[in-house]
Amino acid sequence: MHANVLISFKFVLLAAVLLGSQLAHSAAIYKFRDRNGVVNYTNVRPIGVNPQIVMVYCPGCDPTSKVDFSRVGININAFSKEIQAAISKHPVDEALVRAIIQAESAYNPSALSKAGAQGLMQLMPGTANQYGVTDSYNAAQNIQGGVAYLRFLLDFFDGDIRLASAGYNAGENNVLKYAGVPPFAETQVYVKRVAQLYQRYQGELAKAKLAGQTPAPANLPPVVGANLPIAAAAVGQVRPAAIPNVVTLASVSSSAK
């Protein structure tokens, strides 16, 4: 490995520490070479190039994450048009949709997981194809597909939010296999965190509605466990809620490979 390549990676790792609060909004760090031959690193998926993922940053996916999901910032305004369009077609509580989005991507439409899940609601290619999503990085398409899948899971599990959330993370077949929330550490914590976020979003959206900030929600089918205590409605993987800005971490000379 060339010395300047080693230095560049050391810089990226250092930047990840120094810019931790910003990188928390990102699913990955991308490496790409621009038209001038300069290698760049950024936390937002670049357009018009085929980037290489050099580091995945997803503290909410880690069962050992120290993020306090009962206090992490939430966002009741981001992608409102896209969410309202999706829930009008596939009725799901907006609070649950936002909880899933935050747990999956922290509102980062460029999020990409190690497993290949993409976009705001982290759709796997097969799921995206099943629900007619041709571009998972398009916010409207991604939310339509994710909400349609979430509606399917709620129907499949008779409105049980815990099981639907577990199915969203681990797949409905695993929920059936284990007759409940699968014993996977990631799924166990995912269910807990989604429940925490869901409860918080319910409260904040209700306040906003009373203040006249948001339209009344669509008529929703009943769900099971909507008002369960957090401990009983375990769920999640989360990153702080905010739409990320592009953070270019480093540029190195064109000799880097």
The C-alpha atoms of residue 233 and residue 192 are separated, in whole angstroms, by 6
The C-alpha atoms of residue 195 and residue 198 are separated, in whole angstroms, by 5
Which residues are known catalytic residues? 104
The C-alpha atoms of residue 199 and residue 6 are separated, in whole angstroms, by 45
Cβ-based neighbour number of residue 76 at 10 Å = 19
The C-alpha atoms of residue 184 and residue 181 are separated, in whole angstroms, by 8
Q: What's the token pair of residue 159?
A: 């409105």
Integer CA distances (angstroms), 79 to 91, 212, 220, in order: 17, 18, 20
Closest CA to 184 of 232, 226, 119, 235: 235
Q: What's the token pair of residue 67?
A: 């993020």
**Looking at residue 257, what DSSP letter applies?**
-
What residues pair up with 28 in beta bridges, in sequence order?
56
Integer CA distances (angstroms), 92 to 85, 217, 221, in order: 11, 9, 8
All residues at 6 or more sequence positions from 17 whose CB lies less than 8 Å from its CB, including other chains? none
3-state secondary structure of 23: helix
The C-alpha atoms of residue 227 and residue 237 are separated, in whole angstroms, by 20
